[in-house]
Structure 1
């Protein structure tokens, strides 16, 4: 037994290493050391991880990982969480490279399906358009959807009409269209406010006998803010008071110019009650969808958007999901918002079980551990661990966004707009009287110039209400009131969403505020100011690669906070930031004329005696 144990190398530990070290090179030779320290491939670390999870990723024991943290001055137990920066230092102490993963919150479900990666993907195929029906109450939205469903229902065995999950799929000439049955434009915008651009086409329903009404105007504003094509369905053409020309003229007053008036908006006269014009409407929708070239890759992991959800007493959490791209299958591990689970079952609107669902397909999903909100992202993940990481990331980012939105000052609003890189200032306007709407809107829009556009999302009369805040929240706009008040509920919602509300009694003050905000979106002027020059007198080696330049300032001064050009024989050979500046043994912030010192420039290690150093700084001024 002893001999056999010796041949196997004995128990793991020192004996094993000592036996393996015998051989060429003698006892303790270098070959075994090289084998024990074979280079590890870099590992991906999450933004946050417990000490135990970090040890598992690094393939180290919990004790070794805790010791490494203690050497870094971090006292943490196995179940405590450490940030990426600390975990990276622990990995470096074990000579393991790390890869910083991107936050998974950038899921494609938050982007309109016409996204570039889908358009350029070789595996992408044409997908059905997703259509939302909007309009004034009692103008026939539900009747129109019923007429569409009743006339052109997809056969149940081929995917079915999804009557019970808030979305419907119909067939026209072998091509499918997906309709989302939302209760109104508020729900439409609520999904946008949650970060989900669900709709490809908006159908605006107007009653021919009633014309454009207040909720019609709100629906127009919300559809325009979503930046999706609008098709007008002029309903109730069978009504005795139907007046097509009046409806078209009223639309033109609100910048919806139909084709018969020389515009580019498709308008289709229909009678939802009699079923007239339904075929023409579906053909128009297919034509607009064809122009958009909507595509998705069915072979990737499924991503989608939650339409609605509820808790069923017998089935548990039930979520209605619209698949945006990829394919979702029964048994997949999924994350919806901040909830996760494994799909136990998927059903169509008839209650029939389906095994998989492709792009633009609405499904009902069972198996989540909670109820996600409408507009939440839905992602298929590889395993339960990846699902936990994604949920943790979303919770952390949601908390961060909440903290950032706590401030409702105009400066905070402008900071968010600037971070988005937009050159467009979006405004929601409310006035105390109907007669002042046009005057205020024109005055605000005239602030636009070649570099910054001021766009009015909505202009109406009355007190500022919660619907105005919702529209502003979905579009990162600011709300401006002229000679009007703010409802208490709107004020509370604005504080929660971080939306700035400004009210004015003098129109010139309103215009001045808009002009000031527009100026804030202009790129600031950047000007280089030369501070001084210095000659390199001597070069000192610092470590294996770095060098220190011993210099004398010949004119002006050099600032530690500035930048430096290295000029050799009249040519600039390097330009970078100053990482260290010393006079004698002291670290200093600047070196003035005739002073000597040593300095290091970030990334440059090839100084030569006689080099000329030019110190400068970039001054940024607001335009």
Structure 2
């Protein structure tokens, strides 16, 4: 006897399953549980005759319902087949036969015994015979687990971690949900050209008054309204942060406003900013600032811009140049209109209905509030209570504030917000994504941490002069990249030409970057990416550069004589590097007050900022990142007493042997020479 399901009968009668179930239970006293219930054919024929065509259901609704039920049925059948297959595989493994065991990078002894279907004691015994002592909850690596599985004649498959599963599900773009979003504008340019003052004038708030010396010390994000349109501005300390974010894959900027002072023209940081913007492929609008000053020359700035392939529109090019004055407010409205025009042409859109994703602009650890992060939402809408994955950390948003400090419940695309609730402080430039729950976020974060740990463990060693010859002989180094920083441009050119002449058949020497000024974090980042050596001539690395170099394993060599630098590289290349002394920096002190005393000389009142200043050590005087004098300490005092050393956080008075030109703001660096043994070649 054949049968028919309720939803199939409903389709034939052109009524919905719900209506049919109600009729069957009330009119025909047929007990049916849901649309998947079965009805005998004889009963079905009788029901067809009685109901007939007397229904008023919408045909389209019925067809849609039928398609949904059919899809559900197919899905259920697939799940049943998958479950049955999984149970069959587990039975094979449980019998101790030649089954398949899937293992990740690591696995606990207990989990391995469960997968093998063997007692934990037997697995531990097998591990002991292979030379590994491990407890029941201890993790073992893939290679060890593979040996154990071989003993039980099981095939081992390495499991690929699918940490981005939740994120991939959200990647589909739904065209009808896309709406116009505010453009994200970054203000860049040379120091003291008026970047923050310009932004200050635009948003009519005094930001620079809160900054030390009127210089921006942090990355800020602000929203501005103009004629009903919103613009989001990023105010950065310079192009370093812009590049650092790009290095992490965070393309956050839509438009760049390049600020150039009309009385100063193109400066070193302006050149670097232009290079970084071009590398990012971001449209540039040039704001020629300080036109109210007597020495302002707008045409000269436009002329200098042509050297960097930025030709003003009134000169026949396609670069928008707007003369402005942050002080008087002249042409600010025109500048913002140009930004809006550029964004309209680019048609920046986002989907506010999807889960939020974006980038960390800045983050800090607050004593009272814990980890605090400023996020820039690039797509979707972020809500209080959302679980988010940020780089290798995670959390659930407990509170959210806008750029004016007001508490908000949600924020859409291109809006900067400050959030609380993360487990750790993320890094600037980290990407964030909303996931379904906190457990998922935590698991993904743990996977990412493990991945970073594994990559760090297996990463290739950095090039250093000490082992350069060995690496050349092993064939690991074919081209030696060098980054040169010096006090003047002439020295950069001289060192570059001399080093590149050292190229041999075994290794080619290539200077990938040369610049003037102190060694910065950007130089170390470039050296890390290029596996290059960093050479400084008459300049020193700043604190951040030293920290990053130590962390990344980048070698920084500093010299006072060009010949020494060339000889070191040459000696390293031919494996003849003689033993030498290694410089150890003991500490740094900043000159706060300077006293000139007759018959004594110049005494500097200093604050020790790092490490400690030693009485018997050698010192160098550094001004604006450039070494101006090297000598020894003539005296070191605390109040009226001579002391042997002064630690960080304390004040002291000192004088430098044969040097009386100490000025406020100079850095006195204490160092000593320590003998180091060279590796035997």
Normalising to structure 2: TM-score of the pair? 0.52
Are the aligned partners of 1:406 and 1:496 in contact in 2 as well (CA < 8 Å)?
Answer: no
Match for 1:199 among 239, 242, 253?
A: 253
1:81 aligns with 2:136: no
The Cα offsets for residues 332-363 of structure 1, whole Å up to 9 and x where unpaired, read as 22233333221111121333332222222211
| Structure 1 unmatched ranges of 5 or more | 1-33, 109-115, 152-163, 414-424, 446-453, 517-623
- In structure 2, runs of 5+ residues without a counterpart are 1-83, 92-99, 206-217, 469-479, 501-508, 574-681
Please name the residue that 1:211 is paired with.
265
Secondary structure at 2:204 match in 1: helix
Higher relative contact order (CA 8 A, sep 6+): 1
Q: Which residue of 2 aligns with 1:278?
A: 332
The Cα RMSD (Å) is: 5.1
Three-state SS of the structure 1 residue aligned to 2:330 is coil
Asked if 2 retains the 8 angstrom alpha-carbon contact of 1:469 and 1:494, the reply is no
Structure 1 residues 274, 486: CA separation in 2 closer, same or farther (over 3 Å shift)?
closer
Tell me, in whole angstroms, the C-alpha distance in 1 between the residues paired with 2:108 and 2:199: 51
- Could you tell me how far apart the structure 2 residues matched to 1:121 and 1:53 are? 45
Match of 1:395 in 2: 449
Structure 1 residues 44 and 255, CA, compared in 2 at 3 Å: closer, same or farther? Answer: farther
* 1:289 alignment counterpart: 343
1:480-491 residue pairs with structure 2 within 5 A?
A: 487=541, 490=545
Q: 1:221, 1:458 within 8 Å by CA — same for their partners in 2? A: no
State how 1:41-190 maps to structure 2 within 5 Å: 47-48=105-106, 50=108, 76-83=134-141, 100-104=160-164, 123-150=177-204, 166-190=220-244
**Correspondence for 1:307:** 361
Partner Cα distance (2:557, 2:165) in 1: 32
Does the C-alpha gap of structure 1 residues 44 and 320 become closer, same or farther in structure 2, counting only changes over 3 Å? farther
| CA separation of 1:132 and 1:471: change in aligned 2, threshold 3 A | farther
Between stretches 333-342 and 199-208, larger displacement belongs to 333-342
Q: CA offsets per residue over residues 115-165 of structure 1, 9 Å max, x none?
A: x967797755443322211122222111211222239xxxxxxxxxxxx99
Tell me, in whole angstroms, the C-alpha distance in 2 between the residues paired with 1:236 and 1:184.
19
Displacement of 1:174 in angstroms is: 3.8
The answer to whether the 8 A contact 1:218-1:458 is kept is no
In the alignment, is residue 220 of structure 1 matched against residue 280 of structure 2? Answer: no
Inter-CA distance 340–475: structure 2 relative to 1 (3 Å threshold): same
Q: Counterpart of 1:249?
A: 303
Deviation at 1:480, TM superposition (A): 6.8
Q: Decide which of 421, 444, 451 is 1:367's aligned counterpart.
A: 421
Residue 234 of structure 1 and its aligned partner are, at CA, apart by 0.8
- After superposition, the Cα gap between the structure-2 partners of 1:130 and 1:174, relative to the gap in structure 1 and judged at 3 Å, is same
- Native 8 Å contact 1:66 1:77 kept in 2: no
| 1:335 equivalenced with 2:389 (yes/no) | yes
Aligned-residue offset at 1:503: 9.5
Distance 1:298 1:84 in 2: 43
User: Displacement of 1:456 after TM fit?
Assistant: 9.5
Structure 1: how far apart are the matches of 2:493 and 2:307?
A: 11
1:432–1:376 Cα change, 3 Å:
same
TM-score (norm 1): 0.56
Name the CA shift for 1:193/1:35 in 2 (closer, same or farther; >3 Å).
Answer: closer
Tell me the CA shift for residue 465 of structure 1: 0.4
Call closer, same or farther: CA 1:94–1:229 in 2, change over 3 Å. same
| Cα shift at 1:290 | 3.9
Supply the distance in 2 between the matched residues of 1:126 and 1:378 (Cα, whole angstroms).
22
Deviation of 1:236 (Å): 1.4
Deviation at 1:168, TM superposition (A): 0.9
Partner of 1:560: none
